[in-house]
Structure 1
Amino acid sequence: MMTGLPTETKIQCEAALAHLLDLGCASVIITLGKDGAMFASREHRAVQYEPGTPVTNPVDTTGAGDAFLGALAFLLAYRSEWPLKRKVQVSCSVAARSIMKRGTQSSFPHARDLPPAWLSD
């Protein structure tokens, strides 16, 4: 982690989030694998948690973080009006869906394959 701080526990992650906000970051998100993500922003410094989307039979977790980041980048660009919480929720769901197939990029869901509610206002 770029803070040089440990991020093995949620308490340590909270400290890293606060440190990055203190350094001037507008928003900070730490992914927690199957446990979801935690995040905070300048406007909402209280740390929020988004639990991971349960997956009964994961096939391949390789690339789940990339799927999360790709979904988040899309949402930041095309759903900028959404609150950060919603963007993180959908990104966690996309990452969970990506581990249901083998491969990395080949497992990433296309926007047209997602439930419409995930991308609608």
Structure 2
Amino acid sequence: MLSLGPRLAIVTLGPKGAIVAVQANGKPEIHHIEAPKVEAVDTTGAGDCFCGSFAHFFNANPDGDVLEMVRKAINIAAISVQRKGTQSSYPSLDELKALKIV
């Protein structure tokens, strides 16, 4: 994917986390970020939760640590799958602060 031009590609793997490919100094770096083990109740919306969380972190700091952004987004999505619903399953900012994710 990186050979087509983007400097970053992320493939989500559900309970197995995500693969992150980053173009660094002209060479691709491939990383696997693990997901925490949780008891999933409803996975509907988990991908949207991940994408929205990652987009927030990336938009706030585009030059920041992409791997850390992906870790945080995975953890937020992991919270969401432990609850029923889509948007209603997403954790609040106060909850994320209490868990020291943000």
- TM-score, normalized by the shorter chain, greater than 0.5: yes
Which residue of structure 1 aligns with residue 4 of structure 2? 23
d(CA) in 2 for partners of 1:63 and 1:75? Answer: 18
Question: Which of 50, 66, 81 in structure 2 is aligned with 1:84?
Answer: 66
CA distance in 1, matches of 2:93, 2:6: 28
Q: 1:5 maps to what in 2? A: none
Contact 2:46 / 2:78 at 8 angstroms: preserved in 1?
A: yes
Which sits farther off after the overlay, 39-48 or 83-92? 39-48
Q: Which residue of 2 aligns with 1:11?
A: none
Residue aligning to 2:36: 53
**8 A contact 2:23–2:29 mirrored in 1:** no
SS in 1 for 2:57: helix
* Aligned counterparts of 1:59 and 1:115: Cα–Cα separation in 2: 23
Aligned letter for 1:49?
A: H
TM (norm. structure 1) is: 0.75
Identity of aligned residues (%): 33
Of residues 58, 82, 89, the one that matches 1:100 is: 82
Gaps of 5+ in 1: 1-19
How well do the aligned residues superpose, as a CA RMSD in angstroms?
1.4
Q: CA deviation at 1:108?
A: 1.1
Q: CA deviation at 1:59?
A: 1.2
Counterpart of 1:21, as a letter, is: L
Which amino acid in 2 is paired with 1:73? A
Which runs of 4 or more aligned residues in structure 1 lie more than 3 Å from their structure 2 counterparts after TM superposition? Answer: none
Task: Give the CA deviation at 1:41.
Answer: 1.2
